[in-house]
Structure 1
């Protein structure tokens, strides 16, 4: 007798177009592995503002060809409902170098062309920023990138851009998810590749498209500083991703000829054989590019993540040693550099609530506005698009997780333009006999040494709901520091110690921010599902005339350790 679960699995098998995932499920049925089947059919892989991301495997909880087809049918239905001329304006599709990415991208194209959409698909792997660029360039109704960015090899993902060229935000995520649910219970339209090409519905984006993006970087007003490029040497890694060809090309276009790519990591490889985790933030991921930099005595060791939307850099600090910059340090260096070069130093900069507050102080020093959003580039860019005005043009935004965007050519993070901008900053400093460390010290002397740290704190299962507890028992001090104001993004209110209350203009989110005497700050993000919280700390240490960068950093590190300990001691046990 068939159980409801077995019937569900058999129905899925009848619709699954992939012999490999069919075989996986059939083996689970044959061996009566009910626990694994239950896990694979426990629901659907959730579609959210980041699209889909999950482990490749059979069933509705995995990334596979049937899930991709159902998702594409749901997305297509939502686009037709929401955007006038969506089918004619069409969709741009690109994909990274993971094993299933090309197949998933072409399945997506076949579903959307069958629904009447004009689809432009990259003819080969493409960095994610090129697809975001393509949405604007072609005035498309949407863009899709099949990528799992810097996740481990077993993952893949499906990232969606809206017609404005930025990642989707609510309510589009829930609207698309609802249409996917409907599509999952219907026959999925499908037009074979060759038929779609014959009917003029599928257009392959050949080299001229890649060259258009390249020209955009070459001509960007923010990337025209060609001072002393011959003074800069850098090692580069694509981390087994898709960035190398374009990264090397745009660096050469900008006049950087001493570029040494890590050969072992240059070509796309979905197994990521030389790194435990293909994320430049992870320990050991930068080892090979730093070794390449040492070999050539290069100033910089630079990396893109596998889909080239993030940028990381380690900087030579003497005696053959290199030190990684934090995402915040790269962000404030680029923000300061770009503001100092913008016409009349004008330009809008932005960052997120959990990134350093230093960029806003730098912008203020230049007499410019800076904006702050919820965490995630989707918010940074959607707000940036709204605020981008002729009298106050968008210049730069970043988040601490190595995401940067320079100018408005791409409304998403772009590790390629960030790479060029950082090389140009380094060259200008070298022409004046200075280093990146000198510039950081200059910024810190003016605004204070800003140190940021992130800590996840596991609480006991019987600990009171942390968000509710903190709202009911608002702290007046953390350690020895007075709380000057509290931002409650659930209530969208800023409460000052003197009783004043201001409204906050952000989407609601379960986040509390405490600003303390001396410029310190802690942001608390309670987990809605587990007894744990994420805390983001910032301390600011003024630099005295006698301070060096190292002495200020040591003092800030001590202050940070004491601050974290005091804050954790104040939480309910």
Structure 2
């Protein structure tokens, strides 16, 4: 073992409080596995705008108790220097049902209490949206959720909310990361929970806190439109996560009596035994809840992801089969519903890779729609800046199944989104309509919007696709003329006629191409987005095709035409990319 690695290992073992982690490292040493040791100490798990997320294991490149303690010490140091009255306002901490989450959350609380912070710690597992709610409820300096959301079982994470209740954005992410780096070389303060409780620094959040969120939802004007909720039957899955109790309670409060939970997935289980991947977007993840819905003859098959900040739904069709709605379809249905209930202009938001349909819907209701970079951290921080008394924030969504209704929670909330969607379904049913009918109405008004996504795995010899496209900008894609290109790296929007505009977004390595119609469909339009993945060695391509719905044309006909046309566009674009 080289000297540098030996010094790193000794430094770590002298600080690691976890006998399991220590034993794992000692086993690597005993086996002479320098490759594994080198990987464990090859750097540090990066703290970014989503906090931390990684595989649980030993060393600074993994999620473990020492990393959590150092992260908490760094967070505390940053809060103390950047948030007024941070110690007395304190930090709210919650955790999901993964195997290490409770321990990690308790470690974080003990470090922050030792630094003099008031800590509000949930006594049991908590859905992520409740912690975001709690930041504003307690007027806290920050919030922490120990969760890996819908990642595989071996993962865990440490998500941070700022004092405004939204996820952190620059410069706070880099500032906290710098403080963590310093904490990694200093003694970490730690206070026993009994001592912290005795000193009044640690407050255990019991059922009354959960009841507070429940009451706030119950009294929300946006979630109080009860139109024969007993007419809608729905199956529900918590996906082995922490959402079941609150999700079922909120539905019951709103009068939904025909709700059928999937028993095998109702209780938190960090092994996620009935799904290969606990993400409702993944193939097979919704199988059990769709089977439950089918057995009950229910209209909806609904699910939250394991920390309940996302919402997924499959809807029964006339032939008795179920079809998943895309995140864009759910987002536009909810946006249309909520805007239709609002008497004055409202602010709604979407991410740049989400459908442009919400913007058209907002215009129909004299509302305002804003667009941000991908991620709810951008959606919510931007909403707080843009909303005004004459145009308050109403709703935002991203196509990856994230939605927020109103400003009770400044992050995605799968619990309130599910309730709003159930109320929309009931309102339509009372008018003799289905969700499919409503979608068709929206498409006939604004055009049929069809979206898809393709990921390209990058090899070691794959050229930089973004730079290649910038060096040789395409004038056509799939036979369609590029009428303008938005380059978010340089924040410029260039039109085919030579005009240029400045883009007012944070810089990001994203290219957006707006396309005209082609010879076969001259009145159609399309959009192609190319960006690198933020978490994997991949390039992601997002496609949107908009077709007018001629009178007398059925929804099924337009859908078939859109799918065929989209296949052609995707094939042509993928073939044109540098390989």
Distance 1:148 1:464, change over 3 A: closer
Cα deviation for residue 152 of structure 1 reads 0.4
State yes or no: 1:563 paired with 2:569: yes
The range that moved more, 416-425 or 450-459, is: 450-459
Deviation per CA, 1:62-111: give whole Å up to 9, x if none. Answer: 11000000000000000001111111110000000001100000000000
Q: Which runs of 5+ in 1 are unaligned?
A: none
State the distance in 2 between where 1:268 and 1:240 align: 5
Q: Secondary structure of 1:275's match?
A: coil
Residue number in structure 2 paired with 1:266: 266
In structure 2, the partner of 1:400 is: 399
Pick aligned residue for 2:540 from 530, 534, 549: 534
Residue 359 of structure 2 corresponds to 360
Q: CA deviation at 1:430?
A: 0.5
Following the alignment from structure 2 to structure 1, what is the Cα–Cα distance between the partners of residues 444 and 346? 23
Local SS of the residue matching 1:482: strand
Aligned partner of residue 72 in structure 2, secondary structure: helix
Q: 1:102 maps to which residue?
A: 102
Length-normalised TM-score, structure 1: 0.98
Deviation by residue 1:124-159 (Cα, 9 ceiling, x = unmatched): 100000000000011100000000000000000000
Map 1:42-441 to 2 at 5 A.
Answer: 42-344=42-344, 346-441=345-440
Runs in 1 of length 4+ with deviation above 3 angstroms? Answer: 458-464, 526-532
SS of structure 2 residue aligned to 1:454: strand
8 Å contact kept, 1:463–1:531: no
Q: Distance in 1 between matches of 2:506 and 2:394?
A: 23
- The structure-2 alpha-carbon separation of the partners of 1:38 and 1:419, relative to structure 1 and needing over 3 Å to count, comes to same
Q: Distance in 1 between matches of 2:537 and 2:258?
A: 50
Pick closer, same or farther for the CA change 1:205–1:474 going to 2, 3 Å.
Answer: same
TM superposition shift of 1:264:
0.5
Whole-Å separation in 1 of the counterparts to 2:285 and 2:51: 26
**C-alpha distance in 1 between matches for 2:340 and 2:457:** 43
SS of corresponding position for 1:370:
strand
Q: Deviations over 1:433-458 (max 9, x none)?
A: 11000000100111111111111224
Out of 548, 558, 566, the position equivalent to 1:552 is 558
Describe the shift of the 1:558–1:421 C-alpha distance in structure 2 as closer, same or farther (beyond 3 A): same
The total of aligned residue pairs comes to 572
Q: SS state of the match for residue 14, structure 2?
A: helix
Deviations 1:366-385 (A, max 9, x none): 11110000000000000011
Report the counterpart of residue 521 of structure 2 in structure 1. Answer: none
The answer as to whether partners of 1:91 and 1:117 remain within 8 angstroms in 2 is yes
Q: Distance in 2 between matches of 1:529 and 1:468?
A: 19
Name the CA distance, whole Å, in 2 between partners of 1:70 and 1:142: 17
**Partner of residue 578, structure 2:** 572
Q: TM-score, normalised on structure 2?
A: 0.97
Asked whether the 8 Å contact 1:43–1:61 carries over to 2, the reply is yes
Q: Is the 8 A contact 1:449 1:543 kept in 2?
A: yes
